[in-house]
Amino acid sequence: MQVSASTKFVKISPKKVRPFLKDLRGKKVVPVLASLKFANTKSGKLLYKLIHSAAANASNNYNLKTDNLKVKTLKVDDGPRARRYWYRSHGSADLQMKRTSHLAVVLDEVIPTIKPTAVKPKTVSTSSKSEVILADSTNKPTSTDHKSTTPEIKKPRGRGGIKQVFTRTTHK
């Protein structure tokens, strides 16, 4: 079973996060968390929180053991950029980009757990099926009830049903 977690709009450049991802893909969750727990960088702390959250989702929501999980995919995407001006000499300015990131992780089981098979419901005998059909056929509405079968007509909104045919342009 796959479990995912994501965090969006993180105020860090994707370029600073990508060097960590290559070493973490395909490894088990417990050693990955142990290596990221004491990371001195902001990206290491963010990845630790993300993978820890995904492991918590797996254990709480799906009753999976964290020892049996591995990092299947781990990716970072660009988020929106905030543009700021960096004032320079002689009255000019440069554009400074404040970049954001979207982080996503998918955890997968190393050894798949066996799901219990579902119990099929008992089949109903043919005599009781015919009784159910007869009971339903007696409760059908008569053909004189026309109000429930006719669809309601909705009134047009806006300009009273007048559709604008063309737009007038004044500039030539």
Find how far residue 84's CA is from the centre of its chain: 31
pLDDT for residue 130: 47
- What residues have CB less than 8 Å from 87, skipping those under 6 apart? 93
pLDDT at 84 over 90: yes
Beta-carbon-side half-sphere exposure of residue 167 (alpha carbons within 13 Å): 2
Task: Give the residue carrying structure tokens 């005998």.
Answer: 125
Residues 29-46 pLDDT 10s: 999 999 999 999 999 999
CATH of 2-109, one of 3.90.470.10, 3.40.190.10, 2.50.20.10, 3.30.420.40: 3.90.470.10
Please report the beta strands in the chain, taking only residues with DSSP state E, as ranges in sequence order.
2-10, 69-78, 82-87, 93-98, 101-109
Q: Sketch the domain layout of the chain as residue ranges.
A: 2-109
Q: Check if the beta carbon of residue 6 is closer than 8 Å to that of residue 107.
A: no
- What residues have CB less than 8 Å from 125, skipping those under 6 apart? none
Residues 42-82 pLDDT 10s: 999 999 999 999 999 999 999 999 999 999 999 999 999 99
pLDDT at 167 over 70: no
Q: Say which amino acid occupies 33.
A: L
